[in-house]
Amino acid sequence: MYVDLGAERLLMAAEKGDQKIAVEIKSFLSKSEIDDLEKALGQYALYRAVLAELEPDRTLLLAVTKDVLRDIFKGEMRELLQKYNLARVIGFDPQTEEITPWLT
């Protein structure tokens, strides 16, 4: 299966010991945060299904900037995503490359 690696998103894979992850990076640059969220979650669901078939031991994470994490993935939205296991999300600072964990 081919995975789109366009400029707006990137899928990366990493391994540390027994842990295997794939990280989909989303930028949320359009005028509509909801449109960006819908696209990110749809693509996340597709990638998660592909990984379940090809590499079931690899965990998929959705990476967004720390600002997007703070502004969009909070409150009721966070609870909804967690309740229905829609996405495992982490934040990052593009300047410092520091990771901001999000309870998943």
Per-residue pLDDT for the chain (104 aa), expressed as one digit of tens each?
344 433 344 567 777 778 888 888 998 999 998 899 999 999 999 999 988 998 899 999 999 999 999 888 888 888 898 899 999 999 999 888 888 876 54
| Full strand arrangement of the beta sheet holding 89-92 | 9-16, 19-26, 58-65, 89-92, 99-100
* Entry pTM: 0.81
Q: What gap in Å lies between CA 92 and CA 104, rounded to an integer?
A: 15
Q: What gap in Å lies between CA 76 and CA 8, rounded to an integer?
A: 26
Q: Which domains does the chain have, with CATH numbers?
A: 9-100 (3.40.1350.10)
